[in-house]
Amino acid sequence: MQMADASLVLRGGSVVTPDGVRRLDVAIGEDIVVALEPTIHPPGGAVVLDARGCLIGPGLVDLHTHLRQPGREEAETVESGARAAALGGFTAVLAMPNTEPAIDSAGVARDVLALGRAALAEVAVSGAITVGRAGKALAPLGELAELGVRIFTDDGSGVQDGALMRRALDYAKGLGVTLAQHCEDDNLSAGGAMHEGCWSSRLGLPGIPAVAEESMVARDIQLVRLTGAPVHFLHLSTAGSVQLVRLAKAEGLPVTAEAAPHHMVLTHAEVVGYDPVFKVNPPLRTESDVAAVIAGLCDGTIDAVATDHAPHAPESKDVPFDEAPPGMLGLQTALPIAWQVLSPTLAPERIFALMSSQPAAIAGLTLTDWRRAGHSAQGGPLEAGATANICVFDPGAVTVVDAARLASRSRNTPYAGRSFSGAVRHTILRGEPVVIDAVAQR
């Protein structure tokens, strides 16, 4: 059929719908998907993108992106981070509030949102739970919620004080927002540079035991039970944490969880050469933890793959292991890694759900009347009338990671020289092809 009002047509691909994959062309007019048909003849003047052999899914949504602006612009900016996101197939990212200053006031939140308006991916912000992320006093959650902030976290550290966390949950419940916890008991992890285990013992590096994470997951599940307020668990990394969340969900408690790609493919054995690109928090764990994280993603215990994209300027990683800040790049490698790890077990629509609809729902980005809300509806499903936020992924291609060619201002990828199956080909943001054939268009 011919689409008179289509300005962009994706031809030859297969659309990932909630019910499965179907061979369909996609026509987009302005910022809206106008038709999905087996064959669409593009009108004259329409841009046509080749999608043969590709999956056409909803644009990816990252719950966990460190954009470093304001304060650490030498490592990343909203502009460069959003560019990396677009190249990774993301059409929205949730900026973490551990900037300098922290996103703990409407002023800082407004600045970051304004910077995101012209970016290659939509930028939503999460706010800090406590003032300056210092864990002492509640940040103005209400003021931030007024701006549309739906997720609050002190990420980078957990809220240590159980009474303060309880008060934050009681307060958040009334606002309809979700607290997201970086689970780490600072006393148990004090001084740690990597996972505590056989490798830390051999390498002589102070360790972060699994229990530092698990004890806070356990505490917060009890606080959810007490308050009834939802909690989202950030970057689960241990088998014990996954099991705690699994049991909490079975009980019907309002908890959600995410896992990072590096916790799906890398273990603490990577630290053997003391290269700080393998330093991250939570740290790379054991093979059985990796298996548990993957099992959690496959059985629905973990709701989202979230990158924890954490850029650091080269000079800050060019130091001895224990002196380096934790964190690794992740936006441009997330989908190929998830695909490689999960596609043997999960159908494409399940993988896209973990990276698009489910994180969008957790972050409150699935709005239908998006013009009023200030950002577009994210997370699909791709159907006529939906906002055209789209990721076109070629599962037959290969992503070879070249650190020098990443869009981030930083180079701290742990995957330099590695290959993963599948590659992001095109990204469509509100109808605009911002990435075509793996090249950013502006």
- Where does this chain bind other proteins (CB under 8 A)? 196-198, 200-207, 209, 273-275, 315, 318-323
H helices of 228-313, in order, are 239-250, 262-265, 287-299
* CB closer to other proteins out of 170 and 322: 322
* CB closer to other proteins out of 90 and 278: 278
Tokens linked to 5? 């009002």
* CB closer to other proteins out of 73 and 322: 322
Tokens linked to 229? 């307020």
In whole angstroms, the minimum distance from the beta carbon of 9 to other proteins comes to: 50
In whole angstroms, the minimum distance from the beta carbon of 209 to other proteins comes to: 7
* CB closer to other proteins out of 150 and 317: 317
Q: How far apart are CA 397 and CA 331, in angstroms?
A: 18
Q: Is 262 helix (H, G, I), strand (E, B) or coil?
A: helix
Taking CA 85 as the corner, what is the angle to CA 440 and CA 236, rounded to the nearest 5 degrees?
A: 160
In whole angstroms, the minimum distance from the beta carbon of 441 to other proteins comes to: 37
In whole angstroms, the minimum distance from the beta carbon of 193 to other proteins comes to: 8
Q: How far apart are CA 222 and CA 144, in angstroms?
A: 26
What are the φ/ψ torsions at residue 433 (nearest 5 degrees)? -75, 95
* CB closer to other proteins out of 74 and 275: 275
Q: How far apart are CA 285 and CA 263, in angstroms?
A: 7
* CB closer to other proteins out of 299 and 323: 323
Tokens linked to 175? 């606002």
Query: Catalytic residue at 303?
Result: no
In whole angstroms, the minimum distance from the beta carbon of 402 to other proteins comes to: 19
Q: Which of 62, 220, 303, 308 is catalytic?
A: 308
Q: Find the length of the chain.
A: 442
In whole angstroms, the minimum distance from the beta carbon of 322 to other proteins comes to: 5
| Per-residue b or e along 381-416, where b marks 16 or more CB atoms closer than 10 Å to that residue's CB | bbeeebbbbbbbbbbebebebebeebbbbbbbbbbb
Secondary element (H or E) of residue 52? none
Residue 145's contacts (CB-CB under 8 Å, 6 or more residues apart) are 175, 176, 177
Residue 61 pairs in a beta bridge with 92
**Helices and strands in the chain, H and E counts:** 15, 21
Q: Indicate which residues carry an active-site annotation.
A: 308
